[in-house]
Amino acid sequence: MEKTLVLVKPDGVQRGLIGEVIKRLENRGLRLIGGKFIQVSRELAENHYGIHKDKPFYESLLAYITSAPVMAMAWDGPNAVAAVRQTMGATRP
C-alpha cells in the first residue's frame, strides 16, 4: 500500500470538481483517508514550490495557489502515486 497527497487547486474547487476527483480515484481502487479545505499561505506555497523559484512563472504560481481555498486529500491504495498520475495527468505548473 502506498499513500499520496492530492490537491484540488483553486480553479477545481471553484468549478465544483471535488466530487468528480473523489469518484475517479475511488474507481481506481484508492481509499480516501482524510481531507480538508486549506487556505495556502504564501510561506507554505514558497516552501512547496521552491524548486521553481528561478522560473518566470513562479510569482504567478504563488498568486494562483494562494488565491482561494484548496482541497487537500490523503489517499492510499496499491500503487497510489501512479494511479493518481494516470487518473489526473502529470504535474505541470
pLDDT in tens, 52-83: 999 999 999 999 999 999 999 999 999 999 99
3-class state of residue 44 by DSSP: helix
Which residue type is seen at 6? V
Q: According to the model, what pLDDT value does residue 91 have?
A: 64
Q: According to the model, what pLDDT value does residue 93 have?
A: 45
Is residue 14 predicted with pLDDT exceeding 60? yes
Segment 33-39 mean pLDDT? 98
Query: 73: which 3 cell numbers?
Result: 486529500
Q: According to the model, what pLDDT value does residue 88 have?
A: 87
CATH number of 2-40+66-88: 3.30.70.141
* Domain residue spans of the chain: 2-40+66-88
H/E stretch holding 63 reads helix 58-65
pTM for this predicted structure = 0.85
Helices H, strands E: what count in the chain?
Answer: 5, 3
Cβ neighbours of residue 25 closer than 8 Å, sequence gap 6 or more: 6, 32, 75, 83, 84, 87
Segment 9-35 mean pLDDT? 97
Cβ neighbours of residue 66 closer than 8 Å, sequence gap 6 or more: 39, 40, 41, 42, 45
Task: Round to whole Å and give the CA distance between 88 and 11.
Answer: 14
